[in-house]
Amino acid sequence: MLPSAIADPMLVPCVLHSAQDNLYEAGKIVGLSMHHCHVESQADVTPGMALSVFVILPDTRRVLVLEEALVTWVRAEEFGLRLNALRSDDAAQLETHLASQKVAADSC
């Protein structure tokens, strides 16, 4: 069974984009899971805003694309995202990453 979230949160770089809201901003993801994450960023977002998120996972050569991420809460320079849609290849890449993080955390 794959973990729903990384036990030891690691900052993962990302780029946030919304063409509708003219937003293009860098951030860092904490506590990434298959369904949600916490983002640290100076992006001007509001709850209910839909974003595309481009994630640069460690030890990978391709960018993970989270096409539909919904802002669920905002506090200062951090906010929560619910991941509504993942392409199958991106979902597989994320599952592999989360499983490897779980194995690494268990070996400590």
Q: CATH number, domain at 79? A: 2.40.10.220
Whether 7 is covered by a domain: the verdict is no
Q: Give the three-class secondary structure for 67.
A: strand
Q: Which residues, 6 or more positions from 13, have their beta carbon under 8 angstroms from its beta carbon?
A: 26, 27, 28, 29, 55, 56
Whole-angstrom Cα distance, residue 13 to residue 28? 4
pLDDT bin (cut points 50, 70, 90) of residue 93 is confident
Strands 23-30 and 50-55: unpaired
Q: How many domains does the chain have?
A: 1
pLDDT at 106: 52
Whether 85 is covered by a domain: the verdict is yes
Whole-angstrom Cα distance, residue 31 to residue 10? 7
In this model, does residue 22 exceed pLDDT 50?
yes
Whether 3 is covered by a domain: the verdict is no
Nearest Cα residue to 1 out of 95, 66, 86: 95
Whether 73 is covered by a domain: the verdict is yes
Whether 58 is covered by a domain: the verdict is yes
Whether 4 is covered by a domain: the verdict is no
**pTM listed for this prediction:** 0.80
Residue-number span of the structural domain to which 36 is assigned: 12-106
Whether 75 is covered by a domain: the verdict is yes
The count of residues in the chain is 108
